[in-house]
Amino acid sequence: MNDIRSQDAPGRPARAAALDLLAAALSRRAGLDEGLAHPALKALSPRDRAFARALVMATLRRLGPIDSALQAKLQKPPPERVVNLLRLGAAQLFVLQTPAHAAVDATVDLAASDNATRPFKNLVNAVLRGLTREPPELGDPDLLAPSWLHARWRAAYGEAEARAIAAQIAEEPATDLTLKDPAAAAELAAGLEAEVLPGGSLRTALKGEVSAWPGFAEGLWWVQDASAAIPARLFGIEAGQSALDLCAAPGGKTLQLAAMGARTTAVDKSPGRVKRVSENLARTGLSAEVVVADAAQWADRRRFDAVLLDAPCSATGTFRRHPDVLWAAKPGDIASLAALQSRLLDAAGRRVKAGGRLVYCVCSLEPEEGQPQVDAFLARTPEFELEPIAPGEAGAPEASLTEQGTLRILPHHRAGGTDGFFIARLRRKADMPQGAP
């Protein structure tokens, strides 16, 4: 994003695309991803496309403080599209640091270009010029997350931890990479201007098209947050063992298991997302069986040495790269997702061989999706026991280890930030009878 800071705003098509992209991001889960894949955005020049994405991400990362500043200037709320125009204008002014005349004029021009927003162009002009005279403070952690989520984090982790979590929302993250061959870490780190993290992930500050970075075309690595790389490492896979990755797309953990030498099967119910798994396997030259099926109802009767369940969840732990999840989430989502996670855990458990391991994880900060799920599963499934994770094992931050021996990774537990995760490792007792899968 640094290459567009302090420059005059690109043309109207880029700003119009940003307006549509912001509306999509705030309207529904996965709206940002859908918007980024829209043909209208892809039709823009690379510079305009980069600007539209950077502007929306800057807006989302500071949406709470921006809205607080706008509310102080508005006597009554205008239509949502006008609010989004103001949000984008404020982000240009105070995050991207676009010169004031360019940011204000460009936003007013965009308002004037649409019949629905044209009557509000003077309001847009007045509010943004008012903000330039009284610049808002956009870094208050208490405002960076939706109030209901911040309250949940306070209740779960305490005031100081909640503020530390929220402070990460405003930070643009570096990119983490998982290597096909961990032995190549030092060589690849030099070419990618990266540091080697505990566990073997690389963290690079490179920007721009990932496909142009050294080693991408050769399939030597894939993008995967350092936290997301931990679950697969916890199996201690030996070459030739069988591994099952449930809810596998987009496939980072499948690639890890295959690279470790496991005979890997990846299951996901979305044909479009399964296609991404296959594409990633092809690029890296790795092999895995890829199946389109609902993990809870998959009819296959095989059992595996290692079963990984990265369950569907609220995804609040991924806000560093997906800040829209915070604003598209609803309180009711957590309870409904917890019920789904319970069903999937039962299905995953039936797939584990005697003596085999089950790793359950969610990229969520919400307590209901973590330890209580594991406790309930163990209570109703006596053939499993918790296998505690050791301090620092698999590159996990030591601060993330819980008293129970599970991991509750918070975004500030790693210098420079990391995705929030809950991870637990379970083992099926070798001396317990097994029913049908």
Q: What is the pLDDT along the chain (437 residues), one digit of tens a residue?
A: 333 433 445 688 999 999 999 999 998 777 788 877 888 788 888 889 889 999 999 999 999 999 999 999 998 999 999 999 999 999 999 999 999 999 999 999 999 999 999 999 999 999 999 999 999 999 899 999 999 999 999 999 999 999 999 999 999 999 999 999 999 999 999 999 999 999 999 999 998 889 999 999 999 999 999 999 999 999 999 999 999 999 999 999 999 999 999 999 999 999 988 999 999 999 999 999 999 999 999 999 999 999 999 999 999 999 999 999 999 888 888 989 999 999 999 999 999 999 999 999 999 999 999 999 999 999 999 999 999 999 999 999 999 999 999 999 999 999 999 999 999 999 999 866 665 55
What sign does the dihedral 413-414-419-425 (CA atoms) show? negative
b (16+ CB within 10 A) / e for 406-433: bbbbbbbbbebbbbbbbbbbbbbeeeee
- Bridge partner list, 307: 244, 358
Look up 361 and say whether it is catalytic: no
Indicate the pTM of the whole model.
Answer: 0.93
Among the residues of 72-222, which ranges form H helices? 80-94, 100-112, 121-133, 141-144, 147-157, 159-167, 185-191
d(C-alpha 264, C-alpha 45), whole Å = 40
Catalytic residue (choose from 247, 313, 361, 363): 363
